Structures are given as structure tokens and as C-alpha cells.
């Protein structure tokens, strides 16, 4: 079963396109069973983000924490996520990293 893309992630990709005055970026449920989302620049896949457990159950992300556990708990989980990934680069070898895409599309 494919990951159901949240409105949060759909809104974030729309927000990015609006900021850049383009419609070049899009997201789809990942073709990789171990990932949630594939990110596309035009028709080219540029990233796969969001882990899914071997059992097929996705790890929770910010919008799903909000939905299941509430805003306050989601905010705590977001801080832990941001702290844990704070040292990861935004750009590597001239390309935006998967880490940046995950933070942008799945976290606050």
C-alpha cells in the first residue's frame, strides 16, 4: 500500500512553487517501498524521503503526529527531529539534499 500524502506536504510543495514562481516541483507516493515520497523537478526524480519500516508501516512525521497525538506532542517530536538532524547539510555536490526535502515536506 502506498503512503498517503498529507495535505501538509501537498501545501508545502505548493508553497515552494509559489515562492519560486514556478510549477516545476511535485511529489508522489514513492516507488521505493522503504520511502514515503518521491520529489520531482519536472519529470526527473530528485529525491526520495521519509522512512517506512520493513513491516510497511511509515514512521510518523509532523502532520501525522499532529493528527494522532495533537499539536503539543507534534511540536515536541519536531524539536527532537530538528535537533537530531541539525548537522546534516542542506546542499551537497551542488544539489539540495534528501535531508532538506524531508525536513521541508514532512516536518515543521
The pLDDT, as a whole number, for residue 54 is 95
Q: How high is the pLDDT of residue 100?
A: 98
Strand order in the sheet with 44-51: 25-29, 35-41, 44-51
Q: pTM (2 decimals)?
A: 0.94
Paired strand residues for 26: 40
Q: What are phi and psi of 42, to 5 degrees?
A: 55, -120
Residue 73: predicted pLDDT: 98
DSSP letter for each residue of 29-98: E-SSTTEEEEEEETTEEEEEEEEB-TTSPBPP-HHHHHHHH-HHHHHHHHHHHHHHTTTS-SEETTEE-H
How far is the C-alpha of 64 from the C-alpha of 107, rounded, in Å? 10
Stretches where the chain sits below pLDDT 70 are 1
State residue 2's pLDDT score. Answer: 82
- Cα-Cα end-to-end distance for the chain: 26
Give 84's contacts (C-beta < 8 A, 6+ positions apart): none
Write down the pLDDT at residue 63.
97
Residue 7 is predicted with a pLDDT of 98
Amino acid at each position: 500500500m502506498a503512503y498517503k500524502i498529507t495535505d501538509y506536504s501537498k501545501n508545502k510543495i505548493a508553497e515552494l512553487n509559489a515562492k519560486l514562481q514556478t510549477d516545476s516541483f511535485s511529489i508522489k507516493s514513492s516507488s521505493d517501498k522503504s520511502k514515503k515520497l518521491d520529489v520531482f523537478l519536472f519529470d526527473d526524480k530528485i529525491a526520495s524521503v521519509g522512512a517506512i519500516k520493513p513491516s510497511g508501516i511509515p514512521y510518523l512525521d509532523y502532520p501525522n503526529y499532529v493528527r494522532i497525538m495533537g499539536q503539543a506532542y507534534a511540536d515536541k517530536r519536531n524539536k527532537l527531529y530538528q535537533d537530531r538532524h541539525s548537522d546534516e547539510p542542506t546542499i551537497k555536490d551542488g544539489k539540495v539534499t534528501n535531508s532538506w526535502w524531508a525536513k521541508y515536506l514532512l516536518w515543521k
